[in-house]
Amino acid sequence: MARQRVPEGPPPVPAVQKLRVRYAKRGRLRFSSTRDFQRALERALRRAGVPMAFSAGFHPHPKISYANAAPTGTASEAEYFEISVTERVDPESVRAALDEALPDGLDVLEVVEAAPGALADRLQASDWVMEFAGMPPAHLQEAVTTLLGRDRAEVTRMFKTGPKTFDVRSAVVSARVEPAAEPDCAILRVVVRHTTPAVRPDDVLTALRAVAELAPPTPPLVTRLAQGPLQTATARVADPLAADLHDDGA
Query: Is 3 contained in some domain?
Result: no
Q: Number of helices and strands (H, E) in the chain?
A: 6, 12
Domain finish residue from 79, 114, 149: 114
Given a contact cutoff of 8 angstroms between Cβ atoms, the answer to whether 28 and 105 are in contact is yes
Asked whether residue 135 falls in the same domain as residue 103, the answer is: no
pLDDT, tens digit, for every residue of 22-58? 999 999 999 999 999 999 999 999 999 999 999 887 7
**Do 126 and 105 reside in the same domain of the chain?**
no
Q: Write the CA distances from 157 to 34, 43, 162, 168, 188, integer angstroms.
A: 20, 34, 8, 11, 22
Q: For residue 2, is it within any domain?
A: no
Residue 117 DSSP label:
S
CA 29/CA 31 separation, integer angstroms: 5
On whether both 106 and 139 belong to a single domain, the answer is: no
- Say if pTM beats, i.e. exceeds, 0.95: no
pLDDT level of residue 94 (50, 70, 90 thresholds): very high
Q: Is residue 245 part of a domain?
A: no
* pLDDT tens-place string over residues 174-218: 999 998 888 789 999 999 999 999 999 999 999 999 999 999 999
Does some domain include residue 190? Answer: yes
**Does a structural domain hold residue 156?**
yes
Containing structural domain, residue 108: 17-114
Query: Domain for residue 5, yes or no?
Result: no
